[in-house]
A = this chain, B = another copy of it.
């Protein structure tokens, strides 16, 4: 059995889309047991609309919801009866639970995971690691993409080791690990980048470090893991999202503006669909917080049933691939070789 707890009241489409995704997940995998946290009577009501094996779902009642516009730390401390805090408590206390999924406030999910679940032994800082589709149809990842804005080179060294273990579990063979920098030459960058480069180059971990990567190559498909501090990683991820969004908007406007373009757009409908689909991050699951004692997946705030299903399968893959154990082994090896 694989037991996962899902914050049923996190995200814009909760609880309906959450429940719908959870039901599809258990109906396609009889080994799954999902614990939902949230208003019990509401969840019962929504569940009554579905056919499923009710031994695979249990509910923990939670009366409160944490919103995006409240202080994460205070919310976790004070809203003890919220769907997120209840989910975190369950993940902490129930040894059988392998991980937690929430589409709630990123800040609250991260802070809550730090406070409630805690770091794995030896982990300096847990890091947030999203999956991004590339122009080659492959995936790439950024570690850290925003959990730690003030970083030391030793943190980034661990981000590389944890991200590497994650990508291996996802099936990427010998991931090409790069360091985000302002140029590709070995000695480029700020003080932190230069120190991190040396750590990665001389790392006793068996990561396949391929050197520095410029931000323009994120989507090239030439790199599997981009190691960076959470500030630059956040800029890298969000500027990429923003550029694509804005370019598509400009296209729409240009198309609207011209009669011939409108005709053209009709012919290209499928093409545009493919492109949008290709760049839809949510198809690739949520961002994983690496380095916590249990698996933590932050799903997009606007997640649909399909996205929740993907996230559940993502947790299953990580659990079956023994990600937490692998990370702890990899870090121990480096620890020992440093002593």
A232 on the interface (CB 8 Å rule)?
Answer: yes
List B contacts of A200 (CB < 8 A).
none
B247 touches A182 (CB 8 A): no
For residue A210, CB closer than 8 A to chain B, the reply is no
Q: Does A265 belong to the interface (CB within 8 Å)? A: yes
The docked-state distance in angstroms from the alpha carbon of A265 to that of B232 is 36
CB distance from A142 to the nearest CB of B (A): 10
Write out the residue numbers on chain B whose beta carbons fall within 8 Å of the beta carbon of A135. 246, 249-250
Among A216, A236, A251, the one with the most B-chain Cβ atoms within 10 Å of its Cβ is: A216
Question: Residue A73 at the B interface, CB < 8 A?
Answer: no
A1 at the interface (CB under 8 A from B): no
Please tell me if A339 contacts chain B, counting CB pairs below 8 Å: no
With A182-B146, A231-B189, A236-B235: A258-B242 Cβ-Cβ less than 8 Å? no
A149 contacts B250, C-beta separation under 8 Å: no
Contacts of A198 in B (CB 8 A): none
A336 in contact (CB, < 8 A): no
**B residues within 8 A CB of A149?**
182, 189-190, 193
Which residues of chain A from 186 to 238 have any CB-CB distance to chain B below 8 Å in the complex? Answer: 189-191, 193, 214-220, 230-232, 234-238
Task: Say yes or no: is A51 at the interface (Cβ < 8 Å to chain B).
Answer: no
**B243 near A258: Cβ-Cβ < 8 Å:** no
Chain B, residue nearest A180 (CB): B235
Contact of A242 among B220, B245, B279 (CB under 8 A): B220
- Let me know if B268 and A255 touch, CB within 8 A: yes
A271-B267 in contact (CB<8A): no
Residue total for A at the interface (Cβ-Cβ under 8 A): 56
Shortest distance between the CB of A241 and any CB in chain B (Å): 5
**Residue pair A268, B265 in contact (C-beta under 8 Å):** yes
- A155, chain B: closest CB distance, angstroms: 13
How far is it, in angstroms, between the C-alpha of A264 and the C-alpha of B219 when the chains are bound? 26
Within 8 A of B (CB), among A76-131: none
Selected contact of A266 from candidates B243, B247, B264, B275, CB within 8 Å: B264
Query: Cβ of A274 < 8 Å from any Cβ of B?
Result: yes
A244 at the interface (CB under 8 A from B): yes
CA distance A183 to B219 in the complex (A): 23
How far apart are the CA atoms of A216 and B248 in the complex, in Å?
14
Please tell me if the beta carbons of A261 and B270 are within 8 angstroms of each other in the complex: yes
Q: List 5 A-B contacts (CB under 8 A).
A: A218-B243, A247-B248, A247-B279, A250-B275, A250-B278
Known: A216-B238, A218-B242, A268-B268. 13 other contacts (CB 8 A): A134-B246, A215-B236, A215-B239, A216-B239, A239-B243, A240-B242, A243-B243, A244-B244, A247-B275, A250-B278, A258-B271, A260-B267, A264-B265
- By Cβ-Cβ distance, the 10 closest A-B pairs, closest first, are A264-B267, A216-B242, A264-B268, A243-B243, A215-B238, A215-B239, A149-B190, A219-B246, A216-B238, A264-B264
